[in-house]
């Protein structure tokens, strides 16, 4: 099976004194559904940052979607990022843009047609139950609503890989279920690889998934 991510002796750090991930080896199959758990501060977000190229590997090799991220050029990185769907832990919505425009961002960057873009955004707004908020600005929304906007944006351009950092962290049970259904749907129907950082793996998961746990700088599969 194709590998969408291959890490060899991967070390991650923000400074020379402290290594967050230490010589990790793992690979993720294309089309799989992966959970990453770990205590607060264990390095889950740090690992995701390295996967979308915001944190360069300190040592080792990290290949995502066929692109080696150790020493990657900015044009290659842009190319890769166009095909990723990221849900950030702090949402990272553009405050001065409406909800609608925020969701459009990946579609604009990928050069989609205007009419396609509008249809896609309408359908996503319906899925994340934010149709009535389309013209609002992020600071006018609750945390949970902002998180759903971020989810919709990550799904907008049918990415090959979704990276979601605690995407249900601020949601009630009902809204969380909406998010899990969307992620499962993308994985099942579009064969999108999904990697989710979470504290609780939902009991209702309908798809087969893998589970990695981060502890003391090591990434280990939970069988």
Partner 1 sequence: MKSFKNHLSLVIALLSILFSLQIFTIVERSIDAYKENLATNYALVAVAQKRIDVKSLIRANPLVEDVEQLSPDAVIKRLNGSMSKKNIELLKLTLPKFYKLKLKHYPTPQELEELSAKLLRSQSINKVESFTKTHDTTYKLLLLFKTVVSVFAFTVLLVTVLLIFKELRIWQFQHNERMSIMGLFGAPVWLRSAVLFRLAIVDAIIAFLLAFALFMYLSTTEWVHKQFESIGIEVIFFDTLHDSLIMLGVALAISILLAVFIVLGHKEEV
Ligand X SMILES: Nc1ncnc2c1ncn2[C@@H]1O[C@H](COP(=O)(O)OP(=O)(O)O)[C@@H](O)[C@H]1O
End-to-end CA distance of the chain: 20
Beta carbon nearer to ligand X, 38 or 65? 38
Q: Cβ(37)–Cβ(199) under 8 Å? A: yes
Stretch that binds partner 1, among 19-27, 36-44, 63-71, 103-111 (CB under 8 A): 103-111
- When asked if residue 168 is in the footprint of Mg ion (CB under 5 A), the reply is no
Least distance to Mg ion, CB of residue 30, Å:
25
- When asked if residue 52 is in the footprint of partner 1 (CB under 8 A), the reply is yes
CA–centroid distance for 206 within its chain: 20
Least distance to ligand X, CB of residue 54, Å:
9
Among 15, 40, 75, 115, binds partner 1 (CB under 8 A): 75
**Interacting residues toward ligand X by CB under 6 A:** 14, 20, 38, 40-46
- What is the DSSP secondary-structure string of the chain? --EEEEEEEEEEESSSS-EEEEEEEEEEETT-EEEEEE-TTSSHHHHHHHHTTSS--SEEEEEETTEE-TT--HHHHHHHHTTEEEEBTTB---TTS-HHHHHHHHHHHTT--HHHHHHHHHHHHHHTT-GGGTTS-GGGS-HHHHHHHHHHHHHTT--SEEEEESTTTT--HHHHHHHHHHHHHHHHHS--EEEEE-SS--TT--S--EEEEEETTEEEE--
- Decide which of partner 1, ligand X, Mg ion, none touches 148; Cβ closer than 5 to 8 Å per partner kind: none
Quick note: the x/- pattern for Mg ion over 66-105, rule CB under 5 A, is: -----------------------x----------------
- Decide which of Mg ion, partner 1, ligand X, none touches 20; Cβ closer than 5 to 8 Å per partner kind: ligand X
Beta carbon nearer to partner 1, 82 or 210? 82
Among 11, 22, 45, 120, binds Mg ion (CB under 5 A): 45
Interatomic CA distance for residues 113 and 168, integer angstroms: 31
Q: How many residues bind partner 1 (CB under 8 A)?
A: 27
Residues near Mg ion (CB under 5 A) are 45, 89
Residues near partner 1 (CB under 8 A) are 14, 49, 52, 54-55, 75, 77-84, 86, 88, 92-97, 105-106, 108-109, 137
């Amino acid at each position: 099976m194709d590998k969408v991510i291959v890490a060899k002796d991967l070390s991650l750090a923000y400074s020379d004194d402290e290594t967050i991930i230490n010589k990790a080896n793992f690979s993720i199959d294309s089309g799989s559904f992966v959970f990453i758990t770990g205590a607060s501060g264990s390095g889950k977000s740090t690992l995701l940052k390295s996967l979308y190229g915001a944190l360069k590997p300190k040592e080792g090799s990290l290949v995502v979607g066929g692109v080696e991220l150790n020493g990657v050029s900015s044009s290659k990185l842009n190319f890769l990022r166009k095909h990723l769907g990221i849900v950030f832990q702090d949402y990272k919505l553009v405050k001065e843009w409406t909800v609608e425009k925020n969701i459009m961002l990946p579609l604009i960057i990928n050069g989609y047609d205007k009419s396609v873009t509008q249809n896609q955004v309408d359908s996503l707004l319906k899925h994340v139950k934010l149709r009535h908020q389309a013209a609002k600005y992020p600071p006018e929304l609750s945390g949970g609503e902002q998180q759903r906007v971020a989810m919709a944006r990550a799904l907008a351009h049918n990415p090959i890989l979704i990276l979601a950092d605690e995407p249900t962290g601020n949601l009630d049970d009902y809204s969380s279920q909406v998010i899990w259904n969307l992620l499962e749907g993308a994985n099942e129907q579009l064969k999108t690889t999904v990697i989710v950082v979470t504290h609780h793996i939902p009991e209702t998961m309908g798809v087969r998934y893998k589970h990695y746990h981060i502890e003391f700088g090591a990434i280990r599969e939970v069988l």
